[in-house]
Structure formats: C-alpha cells, structure tokens
C-alpha cells in the first residue's frame, strides 16, 4: 500500500502581538456555533474519508477485490425473503423429492441397461462429463447427482419473491461457483479420466502434474508470464505487420502500417482498441491478424497503441482518453491522408469510447468519419452481462478505494474477475488437465496475448464505471462532452456492429441495442465465438459462422431474438463481408498509397512498429 500522509489543519487560533485595547463592556449575547470555512471543512471530511478508503484497500488484499458488504447485502436480501416465503420453500422440498426419485429411477434403469439415457443433461458449454468413463457406474451416479443438485440450487437462488434482481444474480452466481468447486470432475478419485490415466501411466501423470503446479507457482511468485508465452514474443512472433509509429503523446502511440498492394482505398481505417488490453489482439500471428488482413485488402490502416498507465497517471480521465486518444489520432490521420474521410473502428471499450467521440463530433458538425465500426462494444449498459455482478454501488465504492490507494486497477485484479466469469474453462479444466492428467494445454497466440495484461488509471476507470455502467449516461442521452450532450442519435455515418454469441463481457443482445439509440443505417453481425475469439475470426478458420442483416434508418426495428431468427446465416468469417462493406462506403477509385507519416506537418516516423508502449509492463 502506498504511503499517503493526511494532514488535518489545526483550527487553534494564532495570536500576534498587538497594542493594548481599551476596556469596553460588551453586552451578553447568545453564543452561536462556529462553522469552519468551506475549504477547511472539505479538507477535514476528506481526511475522514481517507481512513475508510485505507481500511477498504487493506480488506481488498484478502478478498480479491470483492466487497464483503456487497455480498452480505445480496445474501441478506435473498435469505430474508426466502425465510418469509413458505410457498417457495414447499416448492423446493417438492423439487428435491422429485429429483431424488428421478436419480433413483435412473440408477435402477442403468443397473439393468448400461445404455439407459441420463435423467439430466449438462448445460450447453459444460464439457466436464462428456468422456466415456462418465457413462459407467459409479461415475454416472456421481455426475447425475451433481447435475441434479446444481439444478436444484439454481431453483433455490432464483425466483424468490421480493429479491432484487441484482442480488438474485449475485447469490445465484456465488452458489454456482461454490458448487463447481465440489464437482466430482475436480477430484482424482472421482474422475474416471484421471483414474484411467493414472493406471495407464503408473502414476507418472500425477508426478508431471505436480511438476506443472510447482512451475506455475514459481512463475506466479516471481511474476513471470505463464509457460509457453516465450514462443509468442511481441515484434517477433506476434504484432509483426510492418509499419511505423508516426505519432506519440503521453497516452498513445499511433502506428501507420505499410501498404502491401500497389494501390489502396482512398479512405484510411483508424482502429481504436480497448485500453484494458494490448492492441495486438488485432495483430496476432500473421495468419490471424485482422490488421494484416485489412492491409492485404488494400486499406491504409492506422492503429492506436495505448500507454500502460502507472500510479503517476491516476488523474487521467475518460475525456483525456477521448481527446489525447481518439481525437489526437484522428488529427494525425487527417494530416497524413488529407482531404479524405476516415473509417473509424473501435473494439470493446475502445468501441464505446469511439461512439462517444463520434457523437461529440456529430454534435460539433465534424464530419470526418466515413463510417463507424463497433466490435463487441456496448453503448447501452442496462444489461451488461455477468460483469455487472461485480458492479454495484457498494462494490464500486470498494473498487474506488483499491484504485485510490494504488493509483490504478492492477492487471491481476482484472484478470481474477474475468476468470470468475468462466471458472470451468479457465480454472477447473486447467486443474484437471495440467495438474491431474499431467498434460500441458498448448499455448496459443491468443492465450499469450491474454496473459499480457494492462492496468487502468484510478480516475478514468472510476468515472467509466460510474457514468456508463451505473448511471448509463450514454444511452440515457445525458453524457456530456465539452459542456454538450454526446447523443448517439446525432451520428449520421453508417455503422457496422459486431456481437459474439458467447460473449461474457459484452453480451450480443446488449450490443444489439445500438439499433435503439442511433438514427443511421446499421449493419449488424452476430458471429460465433466469444468476446475475443469471435473477433479474431480469420477466413479459413474451421467451424465459424455468422448472421448478418442490414437495417436502414427508416426500417422497423426488431427485438434481438426476432432479428436472429430473421437474419441470414453464413459459414466462414465475417471479415470478408466487413471489408466488402468498407469498400462499398469508399470512393470507387483506388489511389497510390500515402507516404509514411507527414514530416512537414509534425508527424514524422519515429520508430518501427510495434513501437514502445506495447512493451510496458
């Protein structure tokens, strides 16, 4: 914890020598309370608040950043309403009895016929019990009992009369996490795959698993990246698309990529990635780099590389990211490619920031944007998905105290929150495969990128969560930029918006709400995959599909599920359709590639891509 000295000004009067004063009889008056001047009162209040913030920051070290008060409020709300709902409790007793009967009936049927169908199937995406060994006794009984128990606890935590929806989500999520800890797949003596592997290798798998665990613990203690990331070095294996850094300020480096075609589209592409991640998720290995693909299709591409903030950047605001990030990059692009509009593209938080900047530009009459593309980016935060479990007023205050103490939100705290959203995929499956089966999961470029995390400055992140997640100012039309409302309805540039089917960070139905907030033509894509894998979806990637539909401004707006039912489904990558859409909104003639930078305008090339900021730890 950083040291913060708190100085409370003394209110004791100071005396200076003065000439004797004549004796004067003063009439008796009622004494009035003395009030401190506003400045002194503010300093005193801030000192008391600092005590609370330090206490919360210390508590966060043992809770992983989760507010105990927030959890307690949720469980109190749920428990008191469950205790006062006899009908719900009787329903749960009835369900428990029925599930026990189903389990016994299934065990009896399975004893006579090993091929008897299960009495309950795992939820979609739950692959813990898909191996053949789980269909044999006694493991079949353990798996079926666990799934029935999991279903019953879902009933326990849901639809309790009177419970606040947010508290219901928190309690249900916490119950699911607790149950997953005790899944029979997580224990070597109840997992048939582990037992079979142990018998087959004579226990060598457990020895290798212990070695894997020791190696991971050592790397964690010494703050080294996970095993295998050394095979994906930035600038050597990933982020290798040729280019130059043509602009740098305290917050960003702007990379201009070298052309790979003789002629290019007249309008350049500016990419605004999220500052919660390193930009090169869009420039991974050459075969799945979105940036390399765009360059190969004849586009002049610019991309922002964000600085990794430190405690010194604690006072950076969301508007600093707009002005010194999006707008500064746009100024540079306009100088290097003068007289041309820009295809602006934003990913995740970068897309949200781009939508704010686009709305502010439209309000000011700035028409430099040819199109706006949003990739897995939300503009309405009414239902932001499971990430909202960690965002309420109590948790927000707790989080602010953590960031106030350090000056930033650390990478490990963010990574922990995202891992909790997908514990079966990111925690328990790794426990089984790497520590029990003794098999290292192969490292990929996307996994290596995911381990290369960043920090979030205190003031900006607190403002982002408060104004967008809690107050939903952007969708409500109350988000102010330079004293004016940044209304998305003012955007007239056509939009291309991408949501992903299994997105835990920006659920596609939430991303889809851009239809309700804008008065422009919108092409919406729903692609297979999650928040990252759905965007990194290069042509030729197996088992990829997407839905796409175009809505004119005057067309009737459909509900998300209606849209999904009506939209045409296509196999392959949405990248192809997007580049076709960009071409349709570009000038028909292609031009010679622009020079790298504009030295005479103050945008001389500084160094080769990927620059310097991407290496900051």
Instruction: Please give the backbone phi and psi of residue 498, each rounded to the nearest 5 degrees, phi first.
Output: -120, 130
Nearest alpha carbon to residue 462 among 387, 393, 374: 393
Cβ–Cβ under 8 Å, residues 56 and 402: yes
Structure tokens at 505: 């960070």
Task: List Cβ<8 Å contacts ≥24 apart for 117-123.
Answer: 118/144, 119/144, 119/148, 120/144, 120/147, 120/148, 120/151, 121/147, 122/147
Q: Which helix (H) or strand (E) holds 529?
A: none
376-398: string of b/e by CB count within 10 Å (b at 16+)? bbbbbbeebbbbbbbbbebbbbb
- Placement of tokens 């457990």 in the chain: 206
Q: Count the Cβ atoms, other than its own, within 10 Å of residue 11.
A: 10
| Angle (nearest 5°) at CA 267 between 265 and 272 | 115
Q: Count the Cβ atoms, other than its own, within 10 Å of residue 182.
A: 11
Q: Which residues neighbour 281 within 8 Å (Cβ) at sequence distance 6 or greater?
A: 273, 347, 446, 449, 532, 535, 536
Q: Tell me, what DSSP letter sits at residue 409?
A: E
348 a catalytic residue: yes
Which one of 107, 119, 303, 348 is the catalytic residue?
Answer: 348
3-state secondary structure 462-474: HHHHHHHHHCCHH
H-helix segments, 249-389: 290-296, 318-321, 328-336, 349-363
Give the separation between CA 254 and CA 256, rounded to whole angstroms: 7
23-40: string of b/e by CB count within 10 Å (b at 16+)? eeeeeeeeeeeeeeeeee
CB-based burial label for 329 (10 Å; 0-12, 13-18, 19+): buried
Beta bridge partners of 270: 302, 344
Beta bridge partners of 272: 346
Query: Among all residues, which ones are annotated catalytic?
Result: 348
């Amino acid at each position: 914890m950083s040291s913060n000295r708190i100085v409370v000004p003394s209110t004791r009067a100071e005396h200076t020598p003065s000439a004797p004063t004549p004796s004067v009889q003063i009439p008796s008056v009622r004494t009035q309370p003395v009030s401190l001047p506003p400045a002194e009162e503010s300093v005193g209040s801030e000192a008391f608040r600092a005590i609370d913030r330090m206490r919360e920051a210390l508590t966060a070290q043992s809770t992983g950043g989760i507010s105990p008060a927030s959890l307690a409020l949720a469980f109190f709300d749920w428990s008191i309403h469950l205790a006062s709902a006899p009908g719900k409790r009787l329903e749960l007793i009835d369900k428990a009895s029925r599930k026990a009967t189903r389990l016994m009936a299934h065990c009896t049927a399975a004893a006579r016929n090993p091929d008897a169908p299960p009495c309950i199937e795992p939820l979609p995406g739950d692959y813990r019990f898909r191996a053949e060994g789980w269909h044999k006794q006694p493991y079949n009984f353990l798996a079926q009992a666990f799934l029935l128990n999991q279903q019953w606890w879902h009933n326990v935590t849901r639809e309790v009369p009177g419970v606040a929806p947010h508290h219901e989500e928190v309690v249900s999520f916490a119950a699911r996490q607790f149950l997953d800890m005790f899944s029979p797949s997580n224990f070597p003596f109840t997992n048939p795959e582990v037992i079979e592997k142990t018998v087959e290798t004579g226990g060598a798998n457990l020895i290798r698993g212990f070695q894997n665990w020791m190696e991971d613990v050592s790397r964690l203690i010494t703050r080294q990246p996970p095993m295998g990331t050394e095979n994906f070095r930035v600038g050597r294996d990933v982020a290798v698309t040729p280019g130059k850094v043509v602009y740098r300020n305290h917050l960003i480096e702007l990379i201009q990529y070298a052309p790979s075609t003789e002629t290019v589209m007249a309008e350049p592409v500016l990419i605004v990635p999220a500052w919660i991640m390193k930009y090169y998720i869009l420039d991974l290995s050459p075969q799945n780099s979105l940036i390399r693909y765009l360059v190969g299709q004849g586009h002049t591409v610019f991309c922002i590389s964000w600085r990794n903030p430190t405690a010194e950047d604690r006072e950076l605001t969301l508007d600093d990211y707009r002005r010194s990030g999006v707008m500064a990059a746009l100024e540079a692009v306009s100088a290097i490619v003068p007289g041309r509009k820009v295809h602006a593209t934003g990913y995740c938080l970068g897309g949200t920031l781009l939508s704010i900047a686009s709305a502010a530009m439209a309000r000011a009459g700035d028409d430099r944007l040819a199109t706006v593309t949003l990739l897995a980016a939300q503009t309405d935060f009414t239902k932001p998905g499971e990430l909202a479990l960690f965002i309420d007023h109590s948790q927000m205050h707790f989080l602010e105290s953590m960031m106030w103490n350090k000056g930033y939100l650390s990478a490990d705290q963010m990574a922990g929150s995202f891992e909790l959203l997908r514990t079966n995929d990111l925690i328990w499956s790794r426990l089984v495969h790497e520590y029990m089966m003794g098999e290292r999961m192969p490292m990929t470029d996307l996994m290596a990128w995911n381990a290369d995390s960043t920090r979030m400055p205190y003031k900006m992140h607190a403002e982002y969560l408060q104004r967008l997640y809690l107050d939903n100012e952007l969708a409500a039309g109350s988000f102010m930029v330079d004293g004016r409302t940044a209304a998305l309805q003012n955007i007239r540039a056509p939009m291309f918006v991408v949501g992903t089917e299994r997105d835990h960070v920006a659920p596609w139905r939430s991303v889809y709400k851009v239809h309700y907030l804008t008065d422009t033509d919108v092409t919406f894509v729903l692609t297979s995959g999650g928040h990252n894998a759905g965007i990194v979806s290069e042509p030729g990637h197996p088992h990829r599909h997407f839905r796409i539909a175009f809505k004119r401004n005057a067309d009737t707006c459909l509900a998300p599920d209606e849209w999904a039912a009506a939209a045409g489904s296509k196999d392959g990558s949405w990248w192809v359709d997007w580049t076709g859409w960009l071409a349709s909104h570009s000038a028909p003639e292609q031009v010679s590639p622009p020079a790298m930078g504009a030295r005479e305008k103050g945008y001389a090339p500084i160094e080769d891509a990927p620059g310097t900021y991407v290496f900051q730890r």
